[in-house]
Chain A
Amino acid sequence: MLAIQDLNKKYSKAIVPSIDHLSFSISKGKIFGLLGPNGAGKTTTISIISGLIEQYTGEVKVMGYDLAKNKKDILSLIGIVPQQFALFPTLTCYENLIYFGKLYQLEQTALKQSIDHYLSIFGLQEHQNKLIKHYSGGMMRRANIIASLLHNPQLLILDEPTAGVDVHSRNMIIDFLLSYNKAGHSIIYTSHLLEEAERICDEVLIIDLGKKIIQGNPKEICTMHACENLQQLFLKLTGNSLRDH
């Protein structure tokens, strides 16, 4: 599904690279957790895969397409849920979804059906005509996810989708991800909530300072390092020092 080979990225004003010779691959139909402390390079990796950052070295392939040559094809296969609320605050949720759907050139009837379907799943049908700026944090997160699903992506990439939301919204999001994965879609997911990652991910990759630390099934790698859970393993491998940037 996704293969990354010797990926490197250094921002122009940075002293050290954000991604340092990173290589990993993801199999189809998996929920893959990309984990790491603050500044580990998770968002940079996602930004490269999604084509937002174009200056990097290394190779990125999504479903056989080379990102350097087939960015447009890749973007139609993947759905990205950015960490920011990437919606227009003074449009309603419905207007936002219609607009983004039209940018994907989706057929009007199919688009409306898709919007209704996801609004219902995420419990936003009653609030579809409210301006986004009047939404709570949890509602914004859910609307943000819907906007990335309209074109039915094969690979869904979510950058901290449950950050700053209440328990109800978080449960709803996690339940959806599990069902979406069951329907045959692959998911890459970043989070600081290791317990959550351990619960839903088939495989995790822990990176730090842009380098790969470990990759594998959460339970297996915990057992391998004699740790009780993913959080213990995470601290063991990345250290206890604060990562203030």
Chain B
Amino acid sequence: MKRIVATIFKEWKLNQRDLGGLLILFLMPALLTIIMALVQDGPFKDFQHVQYQVVIINQDQGRLSDSILKALEHSNQFIINKNNHFNANSLAEAEQQIQKGYFHFGIYLPKGISNELVNSSNLLANEIGKQVGILGSLPHRQQRDSLRIQLLFDPVSKPAFKLAMQNMVERMATKIQSQIVLERIAALGKSNTEKSNTNIQDLFQSIKVSERNYSSKQAHINKNSVQHNVPAWAIFGMFFIVVTISEKMISERNSGSWTRLKLIPGSFAHILIGKMVAYMFFGLVQFYFMMILGKYLMPVLGLPSLSWGAHPLALFIVVLVIAFCASAYGVFLGSLFRTTSQALPVAAISVVILSALGGIWVPLEVLPESLKTISVISPLRWSLEAVNHLLLRTQTNFEWIMPIIILTITGVLFLIIGKVFISQNEHT
């Protein structure tokens, strides 16, 4: 224990006097976080709060078009451009604008579509009334198949988006028709049956669908720019410690101080453990330093404040394991290479590559499938997955356990392989 504690203090002093190394450990990830959070704030807002530009070519001006417009306005997902002054060129102009990308899609409501809906509702109400023995008939005429609501899509629209919009409009039309039918049946029945206080519409829509509201205040943590970038770049910074560790290990070996350590009786593992503990401590400080920046500095810059999640203890364990894996990777690289000019570029570039694969630069869900598959090799992916799980979810199902098991195994493997390289270098 004495040897481990002595090594921890030694590493602390060495790093304390290495201003460049400290800047790499703390300032670089802090700067990256701030810059990336600011740069990605806009795209993240777009991703989270998508508002579609929609043009309405409204030749109808009836009940159906009013209902569709109200529903679109109510959803807050659409920026509506109404074209109420229909002329012969309106549809062609709208088509052109959509193709040029000015609008995501358009809805063409032809003249008389509401009347057609009322007519078909009357027909349906008459038919139902006849079958249940209600006397009387509502005015109607023959149905016209030629009248249709037409949807116009931007050519780059995704099939899922097209389907969703089509379903939405069809659902609205059906809803309005069902309302009209129920009103008509009620009107037919008034002359024949006793007056009822029951709202038929309520009975008809007995099964309702709604989004459940969570009880906890934390339930609505959105993955915004800060919520992605702060933990992501904190993890990047923790892994960037490999540059410092490998550089120091190689310098110690080349300067001869490593030789003296080997000449002192006792397990060399104590010295490695001391080194690892010191760098794990730096990793922890780095992570929580970034979290504090996220919480208090980001709002000053006009960005959202970082939420620390609802599982502080689990988060601490995860960060500790990430720090272990990152330090072990540094020891591995320090053992693998004999000169700093070999090790440093590999250390820095490998962390950049692993971070890109691990969803640090952009969220993993945005990456192509092939990269998502490869990303399993990146310890930064598992690190971010575990941290995000704890920061974004209020209820945890221990899904963060699997990533930390993977990170622990990876770290142990790095140490074992590192030890093999150290032994090989010494015995030749």
Contact = CB atoms under 8 A, between A and B. Distances in A.
A85 B262 CA distance: 14
B428 A91 contact: no
Interface string A92-117: 00010011101111000000000000
- The main secondary structure of chain A at its interface with chain B is loop
Nearest to A74: B265
B264 A86 contact: no
A89 B260 CA distance: 13
B349 to A, nearest CB: 26
Interface stretch (B74-82, B251-259, B279-287): B251-259
Contact of A90 (B18, B262, B264, B426): B18
Interface string B1-38: 01101110110011001100000000000000000000
B261 interface: yes
Contacts of B259: 52, 82, 84, 86
Interface residues of B, number: 27
A47 to B, nearest CB: 9
Contact of B428 (A13, A51, A89): A13
Contacts, number: 84
A1 interface: no
A72 B266 contact: yes
B274 to A, nearest CB: 10
Q: Which of B6, B260, B426 is the most central at the interface, judged by chain A CB atoms within 10 Å of its CB? A: B260
A85 B258 CA distance: 11
A7 B352 CA distance: 49
B209 interface: no
A87 B9 CA distance: 16
Given A72-B266, A91-B13, A105-B3, A100 B427 contact: no
A146 B336 CA distance: 32
A75 B428 contact: no
B14 A88 contact: yes
A52 B422 CA distance: 12
A53 B427 CA distance: 6
A76 interface: yes
Given A53-B426, A75-B263, A147-B260, A90 B14 contact: yes
Interface of A: 11-13, 50-55, 71-73, 75-76, 80, 82, 84-91, 95, 98-100, 102-105, 131, 147-148
24 contacts: A51-B262, A52-B426, A54-B426, A55-B427, A75-B265, A82-B256, A82-B259, A84-B255, A85-B256, A86-B256, A86-B260, A86-B263, A87-B256, A90-B18, A91-B13, A100-B260, A102-B2, A102-B5, A103-B3, A103-B264, A104-B265, A105-B2, A147-B260, A148-B263
